Amino acid sequence: MENISIAIGGDHAGFEYKKALMDFLAGYPVTVKDFGTYSSESVDYPDFAHPVASAVENGEFTFGILICGSANGVAITANKHQGIRAAICWTKELAQLARGHNNANILCIPARFISVEDAKAITHTFLDTEFEGGRHANRVNKIVC
């Protein structure tokens, strides 16, 4: 997990989980930048998903983490960016497949459907899993329009 940089953001529904994940990631040799939101006040998720996706898309950060209630809104928004492969993960197994098979570069967490402890375990698995390449690379290379 060394030399990894992470752009993290989310809406009001993901605010508490974002804080918990930032504390969790402080124990790892990674760089993390918080793209907001900075409170539990109601906000619009695209205002945070687009900057995170742009930061990953332009190579400023290795990975992104986006958190909202269902993770659908942030995933849909992030996936509008070329070169972004945002995956909604609610289990460690999905996180492992998202990285290993799909080379996902943004993890989307559904805060209203999993525990904080599960979110930490999913994040660890996502960041610790390498893309397998091979036959999966052929498929991933066909995603971009």
Going from N- to C-terminal start, the domains of the chain cover 4-140
CATH H superfamily, domain 4-140: Sugar-phosphate isomerase, RpiB/LacA/LacB (3.40.1400.10)
The pLDDT score that the predictor gives to residue 93 is 98
**Residue 40 region by backbone torsions, left for phi larger than 0, else alpha for psi between -120 and 50, else beta:** alpha
Q: Pick the catalytic residue: 50, 81, 89, 101?
A: 101
SS3 118: helix
Sheet hosting strand 106-110, strand order edge to edge: 30-34, 4-10, 63-68, 106-110, 86-88
pLDDT tens digit string along 6-40?
A: 999 999 999 999 999 999 999 999 999 999 999 99
Report the half-sphere exposure of 116 (CA within 13 A, side-chain side).
Answer: 12
Q: Pick the catalytic residue: 68, 81, 89, 108?
A: 68
C-alpha closest to that of 73 among 44, 100, 101, 102: 44
pLDDT tens digit string along 90-109?
A: 999 999 999 999 999 999 99
Q: Is 101 a catalytic residue?
A: yes
The pLDDT score that the predictor gives to residue 1 is 65
pLDDT tens digit string along 122-132?
A: 999 999 999 99
Judge whether 100 and 89 are in contact, CB under 8 Å: no
pLDDT tens digit string along 48-80?
A: 999 999 999 999 999 999 999 999 999 999 999
Q: Is 108 a catalytic residue?
A: no
